Chain A
Amino acid sequence: MQAPDQTGHYRDEMKASAGLAVWTLAWVGTLALAVFGPELLWDSQPVASWAAVATNVAAGTGLILAHARYLRKIDELQRKINLDALAITLGVGYVVGFAYMAASIGDLIAFDGNASIALFSVLLSVIYMGTIVVGNLRYR
């Protein structure tokens, strides 16, 4: 019986996971800089604010690519669980997002728009993590 090179496979998976973690931290860090920097660090100078936003977009691009790489490298059952979770999260994003837009156009939204977008992002994160947990329980 010939065993394939599992050490290399595991190493690739761990490397992709570490890459995803690093890019996630970079994106969160640059987002915090872009949000709080204008008020706390550079007194709302437009050049600095644009630079911070551009850095955040660059880190976000890195995060997207790292996530795609992560999905290619992980175990195939984990890939299915992740893709199912992403499909549900994307679906909820569209449905709730457009429903929110319709409600907003109809002047049905009473609270602050910026807070709602932040809350919406948190909602999507919770749904993604929740469906990952459900997927793992399903295939336990």
Chain B
Amino acid sequence: MRNRLKDLRSQRNWTQAELAEHAGVSRQTINAIEKEKFDPSLPLAFRLARLFDLSIEEIFED
């Protein structure tokens, strides 16, 4: 699944580890999502959307 996670993280000058800590997952998970190797669960997608004050659709797309 394509996503804007890396861009959004960079805009806030966060490391993958910092984003992972805020989202409640491992850095490996954030890295896998950014590389589009792994699709997050719906609860995690909601948490990420809340962190960036965006809707899920604004971060992820098919």
Binding site for B on A (CB under 8 A): 1-4, 6, 9, 75-78, 80, 136, 138-140
Contact = CB atoms under 8 A, between A and B. Distances in A.
B26 A4 contact: no
Interface residues of B, number: 18
Interface string B19-62: 00111111011011000011011001001001100000000000
A3 B22 CA distance: 5
Contacts of B31: 139-140
A6 B20 CA distance: 10
Given A76-B44, A139-B37, A139-B38, A1 B32 contact: no
Contacts of B22: 1, 3-4, 6
B25 A77 contact: yes
A140 to B, nearest CB: 7
Contacts of B21: 3, 6
